[in-house]
Amino acid sequence: MIQTHELAYRYPRGPALLFPDTEVAQGGTLLLQGRSGVGKSTWLSLVAGLLTPSAGRVRVAGQDLAALRRGERDRWRGRTIGFLPQRLHLSDALSVERNLALAFFAAGVPEDRSAVRAALEALDVGDLAQRRPHQLSGGQAQRVALARAILLRPRVLLADEPTASLDDQAAAAAVALLRATAQGCGASLVLATHDARVREALAGAQVLRLEAAEATA
């Protein structure tokens, strides 16, 4: 479950971003909509504990994020949140397998190579374990990044513009993959997007629209 209350964030020398109160049930799907610049990525970062709110509260999977110190928050994020950012942040210095293994370090739990193999197999990229990210196609890299996001079976799966630069067929496949992956984990799914194709594919999903997120405060 995700709950936000009177949530706001202010970047240095900028206006405050003010967000509507939101509640997403465990296992539910939320479309975070709005034009570029209204705060979709910021909202995801606040829910993931990557940013600290200027005001308001965030509660995710039963945890009040304000109650966590920085180190605790990092470990909590590693165990609870699966994040598929716009930039996939796969290290070319490491194999696909080792990129996934970093998730255990971030969560502060022992490494489990069998879980790495299982996550890659679940996303049909098990045969790419020893490749470097620069040897992957765009679609393969996205699947590897998603395998990393679900490796520890998160309670919440966040995806930031996952269909950007994809053609219609690839976009439909990406949305279907995210939804199936979240359902397999029993995770709440949040997709930040301004892509009408995503809205059509997830018709009936809960919507949070950030048309007027910016305001002086």
Query: Residue 98: what residue type?
Result: R
Which residue reads 């990129």 in tokens?
99
Residue 94 lies in a domain: yes
96: region left, alpha or beta (phi > 0 left; psi from -120 to 50 alpha): alpha
For the domain that residue 187 is a member of, what is the CATH number?
3.40.50.300
Element (H, E) at 150: helix 138-150
Low-confidence ranges of the chain (pLDDT < 70): 212-217
Model confidence, pTM: 0.87
Residue 62 lies in a domain: no
Closest CA to 84 of 184, 175, 169: 175
Residue 193 lies in a domain: yes
Q: Do the Cβ atoms of 81 and 158 come closer than 8 Å?
A: yes
Residue 13 lies in a domain: no
Q: Which domain holds residue 160?
A: 25-38+70-205
State how many domains the chain has.
1
pLDDT at 14: 79
pLDDT at 217: 29
Helix (H, G, I), strand (E, B) or coil at 179: helix
Residue 8 lies in a domain: no
pLDDT at 112: 95
Residue 156 lies in a domain: yes
pLDDT at 215: 39
